[in-house]
Structure 1
Amino acid sequence: MTSSPTPLALATDQARTRLHELTVIDVRTPAEYASGHLPGALNVPLGRIRRALPEIRHAAGRGDVLVVCASGARSESACKLLAEQGVTTATLVGGTGAWAAEGHDLHTPAACDTRAGWSMERQVRFTAGSLVLLGLLLGLLVHPAFQLLTVGIAGGLVFSALTNTCGMAVVLGTLPHNRPRAADLDATLAALRNR
């Protein structure tokens, strides 16, 4: 990889052949990470990238860093953030979804090591659907103005699709079940320092 501030992208086959030499950082939530991740990937959720910056910079100084997420959108955001800080990284095109679709193995920790959870995409669908139903119900039973909640959610979904961002995912990512345990993040940061 070069020292270009523009995030680079690796296809799944390129990443697979270089996996042994890459430091892989998975920026999904701990629950998503536990549901299956690239072999050897370390979990630093997107919201914790700034805290992990010194360790990621250290790892990047010793070798190439690949950032992954479910689809590639969050990892691309992480790569841009890191590039602004002078850290060159690459993103996995299509994320773990593309990795699995190509037939590559995902590592799933032993059951005692994981927290059951839903993917962020599933959490967003559930929350958006619940809020739409709530807005419609309250609009019918309490006051029609509550239907504006439904309009707001619909507008947010359209904006999300047009910008390839998701404000609801950002908010959901801050909930306790989506944050890493302090000990887990500390262990990950120590592993990055030792790379």
Structure 2
Amino acid sequence: MSTKNASSSIDVATARALLANNSEVLVVDVRTPGEFETAHVAGSINLPLDQVDAHLGRIVNAAGGRVLLMCQSGNRATQACTKLVNAGMVDATVISGGMNSWIAAGGPVERGRQRWSLERQVRLVAGGIVLLSVIASIWLPPVRFVAGFIGAGLTFAALTNTCAMGALLSKLPYNRGAGCDVNSSISRMQDTRRRA
């Protein structure tokens, strides 16, 4: 399968205008259920990135009209957009800067139980491991290699725009929140298609 250009993105102001003027446009939030529960765009559906591959065909078939993809900063939404476009979805677009930009621009959100974003959790865990490794290396010098391993992992994550630590953290109960009913999310996509 050839990779198509899936870098289509729009800024928050354009996304808000599009949503205000077209009821068939659907925001699909690919963050964890915990992040979605913390704050999300009203009317959006939650379809976590880790569920996209398993339901790719159903998502593409269910999608109708324009789909705007949202995550915390734009990285996960870009990954989801690439997967969906490569699977045949025609009108998928990333909201640049994700929820961070949406909130900074004054975009309205529905709030629930507050949790740390996945990106912040990764920074805490990676930084904590590096710090503890450096301190422990005072007594046990080989432990410094753990810090080097984390640094190599972060470099690889930046170069490939993936994050193994983030993928692992997303599976923790803290990030599952109330959970996400993928079947319900896909049904909402189909309902939007019927209205279009």
Deviations 1:9-37 (A, max 9, x none): 12211111121331111001111111211
Q: Which residue is equivalent to 2:10?
A: 10
Q: Is the 8 A contact 2:27 2:44 kept in 1?
A: yes
Bigger mean CA deviation after superposition, 147-156 or 50-59: 50-59
Structure number with the bigger relative contact order (C-alpha 8 A, sep ≥ 6) is 2
How many residues of Structure 1 are paired with residues of Structure 2 in the alignment? 185
Matches within 5 A, 1:47-126: 47-60=50-63, 62-88=64-90, 89-109=92-112, 114=113, 116-126=114-124
Which string of whole-angstrom CA distances, capped at 9 and with x for unpartnered residues, describes residues 67-125 of structure 1?
1111111100000011121113111111111111111111224xxxx4x5211111001
- Residue number in structure 2 paired with 1:34: 37
Tell me how far 1:183 sits from its aligned partner.
6.1
CA distance in 2, matches of 1:5, 1:73: 17
- Moved >4 Å (runs of 4+): 180-183
Mapped contact 2:47–2:185 kept (Cα < 8 A) = yes
Superposition TM-score, scaled by structure 2 size: 0.83
Structure 1 Cα separation of the partners of residues 180 and 11 of structure 2:
32
1:170 corresponding residue in structure 2: 167
In structure 2, the CA distance between the partners of 1:188 and 1:180, relative to structure 1 (3 Å rule), is farther
Shift in Å, 1:138: 3.0
Identity across the alignment (%): 36
Residue identity opposite 1:6 in structure 2: N
- The alignment yields a C-alpha RMSD, in angstroms, of 2.3
Partners of 1:21 and 1:106 lie apart in 2 by 19
